[in-house]
Structure formats: C-alpha cells, structure tokens
Amino acid sequence: MHRMAFLLFLLLPLQGYGDSAEPVERLHSALLEAMQLDDHPAREAHLRPVIGEAFDGRRIAGISLGRTWRSLDDAQRDDFVALLMDLVVATYADRFDRFNNQSFVTDAVQTVQANVVVQTRLVRVDDEDVRLDYVLRQGRIFNVIADGVSDLSLRRADYNSILKQEGYDSLVQHLRDKTAAARNG
C-alpha cells in the first residue's frame, strides 16, 4: 500500500510549477514504473511512448549533427531521428533497471530566454542524489544536464568527431551499435 500511495503522489501535478514541469514529471513517473519491470524489452515498451512525447527528437538531432543536419534530405532526417530516439529509449531502459525506493524531486522551474529549465534530483536511498536539469523548448525536452554535464554537448562533440573522421554512415552504425549495447546491458 505504501508503494501505491507513493506512486499516486508522483502523478499529482506539482503545486506552483504549472504545466512547464509536466513532461518531466510524466517521464519521472514512467521511469519509476519501468524500474519495477523485470526485463529490458518491457522497460523499453513502457518508456517508448513517454519518451517520444517528452523529448524533441528533431531538435536534439539537428543540434547534435550541426551542419550535417542541413545537408540531409527529409527521409535521412526522419531516419536519423528514429535511430536517435531508439538509442535514447534503450539507454533509459538500461540505466533505470532496478527499483530501490528511488524518487524524483523537482526543486525549481525557471524560464531562461526561450527555454524552461526544470531542476530535479534523483534521490537514491543508498547513494548520493543525482541532479538532473531538463531544458525544454515549446514544452519538450531537448537537453538533460546530469550533475552539471550536458548530454547534448557530449552528444554533439562525439557525433561531430565521428562525422569528421569517418563520415555519416559510420555515425549511423555507431548509434546502432550503442543501441544494441544498451539493449544487451
């Protein structure tokens, strides 16, 4: 009964934050639920629709690829976004694989220029909290900053390095390999 009350509490809207934190709150609820599922495919199936709604895959892909994004045709862009979102879903399903009474706390919501920043913490019982700041534009997440490290900045640096050294096809294969690795634990 205690777990059910806790999960219901997480589904309630936050007082004072309005709709700006809603995509993050839905993501957090889905992550807590996914952590209680036994296998990776079930966690992916549970997270895929929530991540698809919460994250702006096109914006993430465009920023990550920089100039290369502009050189792709519409079909290539769509394929890359799908591949990138597969990686995001597989990674979350891999990293959030065990429930040990973790919880998420939203500390603040701020508007910074055209973005909304939702500052949160993953509270872990037997370990230090992890600070997770979500950057949203038009109600969708396009960057996650974990303990001060921007996922989007890391992604852009990694992808551009591969693009310069090996080309676009190698980057696509790199994403496929990373997705397979996340699925295999």
pLDDT score, position 134: 98
pLDDT score, position 131: 98
- Domain hosting 60: range is 2-183
pLDDT score, position 11: 37
Assign residue 128 the CATH number of its domain. 3.10.450.710
**Number of domains within the chain:** 1
pLDDT score, position 20: 85
**pLDDT, tens digit, 9 for 90 and up, residues 53-80:** 999 999 999 999 999 999 999 999 999 9
In a 10 Å sphere around its CB, with 0-12 CB exposed, 13-18 middle and 19+ buried, how is residue 71 labelled? exposed
Handedness of CA 170, 55, 74, 63 (dihedral sign): negative
- Which regions of the chain are under pLDDT 70? 1-18
